[in-house]
Amino acid sequence: EHNDGKPFAIIDAKASVSGKKPKYMSKPGNTRKLGISSLLEGSGSGHNRLVQMSHEWIEKNIDRAVPPNIARKITMKLPNGTWPYDRHVLYTPPYSDSLLVHLGATFENGAAELHDEHAAIHYSAGDVRVAVNKAKLRERKTGKYTGAEGLMEEK
């Protein structure tokens, strides 16, 4: 079943223009994915520090993405205590043949048909949770954001 049966999906599409292809990516039969925690940036200052794609970041920014009635549904936990969405990241690395197509799609006002023409690495809910927690740990380790609830580990 798609999206673990959840009614909403929060999707972030990212592309990078720097970096080189890790050797393991070229090995036959490789199933390992690139780490994406470094792509999830922190935002806000002090106690308000958040990490992109964290539940706190979604709650803070969802109103700008969807109508208020939908935002309320997205930010209200289900009776079983889980969020009504799964998070996904689609990443096009710098050495991908499709990076130029992705950039073209971005500069063409995000024309959907151009975005459909390139492949990306898909990171599903479990991958995103791991990456968010790594990014939160990275932010906590700086020591600059003591007490920031948005940097607490996600279970």
Q: What is the pLDDT of residues 99-143, one digit of tens each?
A: 555 555 555 555 555 444 556 788 999 999 999 999 999 999 999
Domain membership of residue 52 as a residue range: 2-151
Least confident of 4-18, 39-53, 72-86: 4-18
- DSSP code for 57: H
**Sorting pLDDT into bands at 50, 70 and 90, what band is 3?**
confident
**20-37 per-position pLDDT tens digit:** 665 655 677 766 667 788
- Helices then strands, counting H and E runs in the chain, come out as 5, 5
Spatial distance between the Cα atoms of 63 and 93, rounded to a whole number of angstroms: 29
**Sorting pLDDT into bands at 50, 70 and 90, what band is 47?**
very high
Strand partners, 41: none
Spatial distance between the Cα atoms of 155 and 152, rounded to a whole number of angstroms: 9
CB-neighbour burial class of residue 67 (10 A; exposed 0-12, middle 13-18, buried 19+): exposed
Residue 115 pLDDT: 47
Confirm whether pTM is higher than 0.75.
Answer: yes
**Sorting pLDDT into bands at 50, 70 and 90, what band is 83?**
very high
**Sorting pLDDT into bands at 50, 70 and 90, what band is 84?**
very high
Number of domains in the chain: 1
Spatial distance between the Cα atoms of 10 and 112, rounded to a whole number of angstroms: 17
